Structure 1
């Protein structure tokens, strides 16, 4: 079970057992979120690599599925062969959890307190840490660096890490919400994992809860597999 790399554009696959998930994605932090969850769920899914270096995401065929020209995009093919396209990584995670995670091993029941806390930390990553860290890397790597911008976005990124440290200390469970791994952890881990830390290593050393959280999540076999599907 797991990913079936599918080079054709899909998402309709002759003789495939319906319903099924057909993912268009690439080896980015956002692009790996759905593959991590799909591997944790232990289901078969189809994966079409969308090479961002070749600007495949801007081709007409892809823009018909995602007008924003970004990855990832999930095509859900139901029992009748009807297709639903879901864009944005967090929306895809929520969709997959509702379809496949009936026991709520990696999510929480809609309407519960934990469900809304999970949403809170999803949005924290999407509106806070992710754009701050992206901008820090962008300005840091410019040939002519704007030190004011570099400092601002680096400081904001570190501030967000300290917010996470406080949260993990408060829960005391080793997870951002409740007592088990959830979409909140998956979403943030893809951006904080060791290979993505850049110059944050010294900061992480001073944040023991985040350091242990990184080690714990990074050692889960399915997460390793989900991160490596594009390799």
Structure 2
């Protein structure tokens, strides 16, 4: 289970409670640390926030310290979204590229070292998510409710067998990851989106055959 985030507040200041509301909505555990105005311009708080204002947070799970309510709210929701964009998407995409489309999809040339590298990176990404889900214990990457951070992983996770190959079984090697993805894939919104996608794929394949 993740350790609670430390949220520094002042009892009458409105901005810290913006963060508290988001934490409550997400179901993220946190401890409130009420500060006197006089202590905001002293150590140790000044090292947390050189601007000497609340809110500020310390996340013991990541070592991240942040101030400014907008930055904190963005961090709480988007840290996993950024991981999807900088980790999962690029590594999964490169794995598929070097297996199927390098230098083009008509005459692909196998580069074993590149394929191995990106398969390993894909496996590492899956492992990071699996470990986090296991430790977090809620079935979601942020808090105890679905956020768009969870859903952003779906389109590449759907292609996992293409990324890793058929010999990689996520239910065995990353069971929490596999359960999380299966839960996302069963959501009505995901099914509706992929139904539309399949219609477009079918239309495209028909047009290709007619050429």
CA contact (8 A) 1:135 1:153 kept: yes
After TM superposition, list the pairs within 5 Å mapping 1:1-231 onto structure 2.
111=70, 115-141=74-100, 142=102, 143-193=108-158, 195-198=159-162, 199=165, 202-205=168-171, 206-230=173-197, 231=199
Give CA deviations for 1:125-170 in whole Å, capped at 9, x if unaligned: 1111111111111111132211111111110111010000011112
When the two chains are superposed, the root-mean-square deviation of aligned CA atoms in Å is 2.7
CA distance in 1: counterparts of 2:121 and 2:132, whole angstroms: 17
**1:73 counterpart residue number:** none
Listed as ranges, the gaps of 5+ residues in structure 1 are 1-103
* Count of matched residue pairs: 125
1:197 CA drift (Å): 3.0
Listed as ranges, the gaps of 5+ residues in structure 2 are 1-23, 29-68, 103-107, 200-211
1:218 CA drift (Å): 1.3
**Residues 118, 150 of structure 1: alpha-carbon distance in 2 compared, 3 angstrom cutoff:** same
CA contact (8 A) 1:169 1:209 kept: yes
1:224 CA drift (Å): 0.6
Q: Secondary structure at the match of 2:144?
A: coil
Q: Secondary structure at the match of 1:174?
A: coil
Give CA deviations for 1:22-42 in whole Å, capped at 9, x if unaligned: xxxxxxxxxxxxxxxxxxxxx
1:203 CA drift (Å): 3.8
CA contact (8 A) 1:114 1:178 kept: no
CA distance in 2: counterparts of 1:200 and 1:210, whole angstroms: 17
CA distance in 2: counterparts of 1:126 and 1:184, whole angstroms: 10
Q: Secondary structure at the match of 2:123?
A: helix
Question: When the two structures are superposed, what TM-score results if normalisation uses the length of structure 1?
Answer: 0.48
Question: When the two structures are superposed, what TM-score results if normalisation uses the length of structure 2?
Answer: 0.53
**2:10 counterpart residue number:** none
CA distance in 1: counterparts of 2:185 and 2:195, whole angstroms: 12
Q: Secondary structure at the match of 2:152?
A: helix
Q: Which has the higher contact order (CA 8 A, sep 6+)?
A: 1
Q: Secondary structure at the match of 1:197?
A: helix
1:228 CA drift (Å): 2.0
